[in-house]
């Protein structure tokens, strides 16, 4: 399980993969899955090392 800080590129509004709101502008630490990889390939989001100041990374989903 890989956790990265995922941030929207530019001013794009990116829905969370679970349908629970949108990805915050400042980014969020999340577990990578096919949804995030697809958005990163389309240059809609960027990945960085996890930010210890941000919450997140605790999401575990059945698809993993």
Angle at 50 between CA 11 and CA 16, to 5 degrees: 45
Burial grade of 5 (CB within 10 A; 0-12, 13-18, 19 or more): buried
Q: Summarize pLDDT for 13-44 with one digit per residue, the tens.
A: 999 999 999 999 999 999 999 999 999 999 99
The span from the CA of 6 to the CA of 47, in Å, is 5
| High-pLDDT (> 70) share of the chain, % | 86
């Amino acid at each position: 399980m890989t956790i990265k800080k995922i941030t929207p590129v530019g001013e794009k509004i990116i829905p969370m993969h679970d349908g629970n709101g949108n990805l915050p502008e400042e980014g969020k630490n999340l577990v990578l899955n096919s949804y995030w990889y697809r958005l990163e390939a389309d240059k809609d989001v960027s990945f960085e090392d996890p930010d210890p100041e941000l919450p997140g990374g605790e999401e575990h989903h059945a698809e993993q």
